[in-house]
Amino acid sequence: MDREDGSRAAGASGQAGRETHGFQAEVRQLLQLMIHSLYSNKEIFLRELISNASDANDKLRFLALADPALLGNDPELKIRIDFDSKNGAISVHDNGIGMSRQELIDNIGTIARSGTAEFLGQMTGDSRKDAQLIGQFGVGFYSAFIVADQVTVETRRADAAETDGVRWQSDGKGEYSIEPLLRRERGTRVTLHLKKDEAEFSDPARLRNLIRKYSDHIAFPVLLADAGQPEVEPQTVNTATALWTRPRSDIRDEEYRELYKHLSHDMSDPLAWSHNKVEGKREYTSLLYVPATAPFDLWNREAPRGLKLYVQRVFIMDQADQFLPLYLRFVKGVIDSADLPLNVSRELLQKDAGLEAIRGALTRRVLDMLEKLAANDADGYAGFWSAFGQVLKEGLVEDAQNSDKLAGLMRFATTRSEGEKQDQSLDDYLSRAPQDQDRIYYVLGDNHAQAAASPHLEQLKSRGIEVLLLTDRIDPWIVDHLEEYRGKKLQDVGRGQLELPGEAGAATDNALDEEYRPLLKKIRRTLKERVDTVNVSRRLVDSAACVVASGQDLAPRLRRMLEASGQKVPPTKPILEINVRHPLVTRLSAETDNVRFADLSHIVLDHALLAEGAALENPAVYVQRINRLLLDMEKAGVSRGVE
């Protein structure tokens, strides 16, 4: 792990200043896994190396805005790939920013990204699945070791002296060497000595194909040169224009997909993209992608997010997160502004008065793109929802302006869903609801099984009325913010009076209430410390009782979550509703023994709470009551036996 511990001077080699270091343990582990699981996809190493070369050129072009001298007498930024078919080697050159010795150690010998250990823990040993994961992690440089048994990096920073070059070399097995180097050109050359079976990658025809495939979208020329014939002028192989600057009609889907992979380090294809040029008060081009799979660090607060920002085609910064709201953090892409200043910084961006408008427009673009996806590709949208639905839900809380659009994009598990799948939209729900149903019913639960079995649903179920089963952590908040959809109010079936279709406003104090008034009163007196009131239930069919919150109270689930997070929540008492058709209630109303009446009443309430997923305040007392009843039963049994 510790770089310094792992290093030793390679005295045996006799070269001044040459040191051998051990790879960080995570790097070693990752290398092994990667070589193994990416083998069927080995050509991607070229994409990764070209991608790094392009990034390095981008970075230098940016620094040269402030300090043109950095470009020296070599102002044209480019990438060159040399092949040496005789020796089975290739090298990728850039004349970009380069690396210092320390940068080389930090960037190549260690993995700085947080969550690496967690990531490695997710590896399954199934190489197809692991290849997916590895792709998301963005192993980049290390992919060279899939095809090479020796990799050499020679580099010099653009602002360093010729004597400050560095050479790094490794066989990818556990150690690397590093030594000073006299290097005339700035930038980096990565040389791969190919494994015996990988000679195809030094074949010019094969290379030309791969370069076209992987770098047509890159803004720098990529040249191909024969190391064996230095007199032959190298040829430019790619189009060498930034993809987003070209007209949409000229761009093939394949090219869009390749740019996505360059931007995201994700090996799978994106689900959808949207490419737009905006003219007017603010001029910019945006190219936004929706990924198909969630990155392993989606829930990590420090995970990279945001767009790649260019100003007039000059790369300015990665992870510009000011252009989209947090709940769209899964979107990848590029924004190229025509009118931001080239020296724009994160602070300046924050203060830019026009930014809010761009952000609003980009947000709507993403939501439109998702609407289109949902309309045209149900499977694709289902995949999107299972990867990012939880994140998109945050939008209902954060972004009131777009709440209608967002609500339409939500998918829920309902009493009609296939298993636990969140596969129904609110429009699906409304299209099935009877004409006179003016509510969208939902139940909140800790998990699907509990919500689906909630006593609150019994009456609705028996009438065939669909209910949303909301069990995600964020659900209590989203129903709080949403309130209604297409003019239909959302109603918690466990709260307040339950209004059923065709009975809107029906009073509760009907004939039944009248008939049971003495019993209700007696139970209420018994439970007065624990319940607000006791009513005859109109929700229940099979259960003896349930608790409901009054219209204004916090939903019980929300209350439990707040309490669990240490917040003080004002105490409230629930309403107990009893099912007067249930035998247990009949038994209760016939009970003449006061102790037994109290025990039964408390147990009915305790069971209603347990069915809700609530914890009992005093489980020991509950157990005593149950035991008393069981013993009574036994006595009754014994006496029956005697007869």
> By the criterion CB under 6 A, which residues form the site for ligand ADP?
48, 52-53, 56, 94, 96-99, 107-108, 138, 140-141, 188, 265
Residue nearest to ligand ADP (CB): 140
Paired tokens of 515: 């008939």
SS (H, E, C) 337-358: ECCCCCCCCHHHHHHCCCHHHH
Residue 94 binding: pick among Mg ion, ligand ADP, none (C-beta 5-8 Å cut-off by kind): ligand ADP
Nearer to ligand ADP among residue 294 and residue 361 (C-beta)? 294
CB of 120 to Mg ion, least distance (A): 19
Cα separations in angstroms, 112 against 1, 172, 263, 319: 12, 18, 19, 16
Q: Which among 255, 363, 259 is positioned nearest to 308, based on CA atoms?
A: 259
Q: Which does 96 bind (CB under 5 to 8 A by kind): ligand ADP, Mg ion, none?
A: ligand ADP
Tokens of 1: 């792990």
Q: What are the angstrom distances between the C-alpha of 177 and each of 35, 184, 547?
A: 21, 21, 70
3-state secondary structure of 444: strand
- Which CB, 140 or 455, lies closer to ligand ADP? 140
Position of minimal CB gap to Mg ion: 140
- Rounded least distance, CB 57 to Mg ion, Å: 13
Structure tokens, 351: 């203060």
3-state secondary structure 120-175: HHCCCCCHHHHHHHHHHHCCHHHHHHHHEEEEEEEEECCCCCHHHEEEEEECCCCE
Q: Quick one: 460 exposed, middle or buried, by C-beta within 10 A (0-12, 13-18, 19+)?
A: buried
Q: Which of 52, 95, 202, 491 binds Mg ion (CB under 5 A)?
A: 52
Nearer Cβ to Mg ion (192/460): 192
**Smallest separation (angstroms) from Mg ion to the CB of 165:** 21
Residue (48 or 82) nearer to Mg ion, CB: 48
CB of residue 269 to ligand ADP, shortest distance in Å: 19
CA 394 to chain centre: 12
Q: Shortest gap between Cβ of 48 and ligand ADP (angstroms)?
A: 6
Residue 264 interacting with Mg ion (CB under 5 A) = no
Which of 22, 187 has the CB closer to ligand ADP? 187
CA distance 621 to 253: 67
Among ligand ADP, Mg ion, none, what binds residue 56 when CB lies within 5 to 8 Å by partner kind? ligand ADP
Beta bridge partners of 192: 90, 151
Select the binding partner of residue 575 from Mg ion, ligand ADP, none (C-beta < 5 to 8 A, by kind).
none
Tell me whether residue 48 or residue 423 sits nearer to ligand ADP (CB atom): 48
Nearer to ligand ADP, 22 or 96 (CB): 96
**Phi and psi (nearest 5°) for 570?**
-60, 140
Q: Of the two residues 94 and 423, which places its CB atom closer to ligand ADP in the complex?
A: 94
Q: Which of 17, 9, 14 is nearest to 181 (CA)?
A: 17
CA distance between the termini of the chain: 81
Amino acid at 158: A
* Segment 86 to 145, residues that bind Mg ion, using CB under 5 A: 140
Minimum separation from the CB atom of position 312 to ligand ADP (A): 23
Q: Least distance to ligand ADP from the beta carbon of 379, Å?
A: 30
Closest approach of Mg ion to the CB of residue 200, in Å: 23
Which option in Mg ion, ligand ADP, none does residue 399 bind, with CB closer than 5 to 8 A by kind? none
Q: Give me the residues that bind Mg ion (CB under 5 A), please.
A: 51-52, 140
